[in-house]
Amino acid sequence: MRQLLMVRYGEIYLKGQNRPFFLNLLRQRLKKAVLPYGGVVTLSDGRYYVTNYSDEHATIQAIQKVFGVHSLCIAVEMSKESFEDIQNTAADMIDGYNGTFKVQSRRSDKRYSLTSPEINREIGAYILNRHPHLSVDVHNPDHVMSVEIRDHAYLYIKILSGPGGMPVGSNGKATLLLSAGIDSPVAGYLIAKRGVELSAVHFFSYPYTGERSKDKVIQLASKLSAYCCGMKLYIIPFTEIQMEIYQKSFSDHTTLIMRRFMMRLAERIALLDGAQALITGESIGQVASQTMEAIVCTDAVVNKPVFRPLIGFDKVDIIRLAEEIDTYETSCLPYEDCCTVFTPKHPVTRPKIERVLKAEAPLDIDALIDRAIKGVEVIEL
Ligand code: ATP
Ligand code: MG
């Protein structure tokens, strides 16, 4: 008899002929996640089994960050030969619980001597006998004692949820524009959840934004990286571009032009990094640079698709998600972001592309971009 973690996958079961590819990838992702705790992962009969781990709590937390995992449970694995032993173990496991329960069994070994309803009845009666303060409720029980008869018998009570989604690496690569705010880490999370590998770019306006603001972004990127099996963070010097825009173009257009530079630079990094798309944390109408007209003007400078997974989200819903993935607190640290430093008093909200081009005309766009790319700092997370 031993204790192990039983991990179920989610959407992968929908995959037809490609299923082995997805299953193998998820196994790699799980292996990497539990490696620091000595965990060993095997796949059998449509489940992953994690054994040998040293720190159970930390191992569970790591598995709960692996996209593709639907749920997991702490299970007891034992021989299925002695039904009495199984009953005994079930009664031991439910010791300390109160209220109502039911036994839910499943047999993938159809030659087993008892049917599922018989197993439920027998174990239920045994538990009641040992723990008379419990009662059975088959419709809405407080606890479910699950018993699975496979190559061995597996018993578990609590099921913990996984993050869902698809294993990272199953759906290409994209570059996230990662600010120090609330929205962009959530946007990156949602795209990574669909199996997309990430890299991140951050525009850094030293000395207008300082080392503490950079540390904050590194901290956010590390939190995201835990879900993404690692990621590269590109810190791009942005001060020269912002100063040029500030000095040479129309003041009500500065934010919009800055956003166009961000997109061009992010696309350059995506090309270097083998990423096929860009991701931003924009949500329609949230600020002046995120009106429909402004988004049309920012999109116009890049060829790659731009994913905006938060486009239809209200801020309160974004905050709720940020809390769930544990980036909210870090995002709320007070350090300045480069956008806030140069924000005009009255930004244009309905920009026209002809006027945007006029505002950009005094700038040597290619030279500014080349110089910024030369100054990039790469951090491996
Ligand atoms: P966030 O909360 O993510 O900062 P926001 O509501 O503050 O978003 P903006 O500042 O207009 O919105 O930025 C919109 C998007 O542009 C961000 O979600 C992010 O993807 C990108 N962005 C903004 N500032 C930066 C930056 N300094 N570095 C990288 N990307 C940025
Ligand atoms: Mg921001």
Q: Which ligand is nearest to the CA of 259?
A: 1
What global pTM score does this model have?
Answer: 0.93
Q: What pLDDT sits at residue 339?
A: 56
Q: Which atom of ligand 1 is nearest to the CA of 283?
A: 6
Yes or no: say if 249 and 359 are a contact pair by the CB < 8 Å rule.
yes
Yes or no: say if 368 and 240 are a contact pair by the CB < 8 Å rule.
yes
> What token pair was written down for 48?
């992953």
Listed by start position, the domains of the chain span: 2-161, 173-380
Strand partners, 50: 5, 41
Tell me the per-residue pLDDT of 22-42, one tens digit each, with 9 for 90 and over: 999 999 999 999 999 999 999
Q: What pLDDT sits at residue 3?
A: 97
Give dist(CA 37, CA 179) in Å, integer.
32
Give dist(CA 238, CA 202) in Å, integer.
9
**Which residues line the pocket of ligand 1, CB cutoff 6 A?**
177-179, 181-184, 201-203, 262, 280-282, 286-287, 289-290, 337-339
Yes or no: say if 302 and 261 are a contact pair by the CB < 8 Å rule.
no
Q: What pLDDT sits at residue 381?
A: 95
Q: What pLDDT sits at residue 336?
A: 66
* CATH code of the domain made up of 2-161: 3.30.2130.30
Which residue has the least CA distance to atom 10 on ligand 1?
A: 339
Q: Which atom of ligand 1 is nearest to the CA of 286?
A: 6
For the chain, residues with pLDDT lower than 70 are: 336-341
Contacts of 3 (CB under 8 A, 6+ apart): 74, 75, 76, 77
CATH homologous superfamily for 173-380? HUPs (3.40.50.620)
Strand partners, 200: 176, 233
Q: What pLDDT sits at residue 153?
A: 97
First to last CA, the chain: 39
Give dist(CA 178, CA 27) in Å, integer.
29
